[in-house]
Amino acid sequence: MKPPHHNTQINGVGNCKGNFSHPHGDWNAFLFQRRHLFIWFLAALIPFAVVRSYFSHSPAVYQVETSHEEASVQTPDERSTPVPILNSTRDSWVGHNSSAISQDGDCDLSTGDWIPDPSGPFYTNVTCRAIQEHQNCMKHGRPDTDYLHWRWRPRSCELPRFNASSFLELMRGKILAFVGDSIGRNHMQSLVCLLSQVDDARDIYKDETDKFRRWLFPSYNFTLAVLWSPFLVKEMTKKIEGSASEQLHLYLDIADKKWTSQLHEFDIVLLSGGQWFLKAAIYLEKDEVIGCHYCPGTNFTQLGFYFAYRKALRLAFKSINTSPDYKGLTFLRTFTPDHFENGRWDNGGTCERTVPYKNNEIVMEGMNTEMYKIQLEEFEKAAKDGAARGLKFRLIDTTWASLLRPDGHPGPYRYSHPFAKDKNAKVQNDCLHWCLPGPIDAWNEFLLEMLKRESM
């Protein structure tokens, strides 16, 4: 087959013709043509390079959809409709709120990446006795360990690894109280484990439900308390008339005295929560029903759980700000996403991922976004009110760091060796709480860093 004859014409350069496949052509003319062609090619690339450089330095707006369901404990009919908001909007909230929560020059701990960390955890299920069974992933036979080898690195600074001696020295003679739900207790147990590697904690109080507990670190006279209050306000469960079923009632104008009555004892209070507000409930103020969340068969106004959470959080902050005897430092740890995929907690949802998400692999949207937004808005109001009264409020923003860790949950290993008898067994997963040791140990690195800032 005869080789093809190539005629090349370049607009804007001239009419250059040459038989590039012919061995007897004018070689100098050929080189002249190639030189002009190359110069034109470089000139043509300049506009594209400029455009690409501009966009490569612009903030990214991630639009990757996630496959997990945000509301893991309710059916779709029980949820309020969320407004999806992408990471760029979340970043604007953090920036807008930062002046109220940090000193000038402080690094924003809330945005960053999980990077490999070969050093591993500070403790194991053998060296810490405070791990609750459902979060004891090592003991229960979780086969992978890669989830233990990541460290949170903020974008613009270094977050030091946890130093138990430094933490205990800062807390010498003080009482720190965690107020919230089971994730708050999960967080507290992580801190007990971290500190116990330096000073053996003594379990000095535990109620009959194991929901109110105190640990003493005797060498530092430091007490760590956990108080169960998933709604932060008064709650009652009442039987539905004519039925054996019970209905949750939340009194949105009455703070839960189980924690507010102890405020005067504490030097530091760390509030958290939000997940329990997804439960169906009747809402009351002044002992009168004002509405509900998921109350079919009634004529109550459907207010939704966002309404109730905002009211409860606002009242909790008000209780702190108006307490005559509390002069302490108040932290709010932000909302914790779950990572259920292919269903909810009660209908087969799982969390089988074994590595963290990268920043461009997921967005924060739906319920996570709405709850987070409520927290930031109510926190900022409370911080201003508190400052006028001489009280300090600080935000521990762990939401984004937590969202990136679908690999850190017990999953099926909330149970001991769930696949020992049947590798295909159907097991209810826990994709909300966290393995200990695990990613939430980093929450205490956030806490320590913020305490160090307060001591400066």
Phi/psi region, residue 286 (left: phi>0; alpha: psi -120 to 50; beta: rest), is: left
Domain holding 239, by residue range, is: 123-454
Please check whether residue 39 lies inside any domain of the structure.
Answer: no
Please check whether residue 214 lies inside any domain of the structure.
Answer: yes
Mark whether 433 is an active-site residue: yes
Mean pLDDT of 242-258: 89
Q: So what's the pLDDT on residue 107?
A: 86
Catalytic residue of the set 181, 256, 397, 430:
430
Please check whether residue 416 lies inside any domain of the structure.
Answer: yes
pLDDT digits (tens, 9 = 90+) for 109-155: 999 999 999 999 999 999 999 999 999 999 999 999 999 999 999 99
Please check whether residue 336 lies inside any domain of the structure.
Answer: yes
Please check whether residue 150 lies inside any domain of the structure.
Answer: yes
Write down the pTM of the prediction: 0.79
Catalytic residue of the set 72, 182, 190, 272:
182
Residue 39 pLDDT > 60: no
Please check whether residue 179 lies inside any domain of the structure.
Answer: yes
Mark whether 165 is an active-site residue: no
Please check whether residue 376 lies inside any domain of the structure.
Answer: yes
Please check whether residue 52 lies inside any domain of the structure.
Answer: no
Per the model's pLDDT, the better-predicted residue between 267 and 48 turns out to be: 267
Q: So what's the pLDDT on residue 456?
A: 56
Burial letters for 58-67: b for 16+ Cβ neighbours within 10 Å, e otherwise?
A: eeeeeeeebe
Give, to the nearest 10 degrees, the angle between helix 87-101 and helix 366-388.
20
Mean pLDDT of 316-342: 97
Residue 86 pLDDT > 60: no
Q: So what's the pLDDT on residue 243?
A: 63
Domain count, the chain: 1
Mark whether 36 is an active-site residue: no
Q: So what's the pLDDT on residue 434?
A: 98
- Total residue length of the chain: 456
Q: Percentage of the chain with pLDDT > 70?
A: 76
- The CATH number linked to 174 is 3.40.50.1110
Mean pLDDT of 151-173: 96
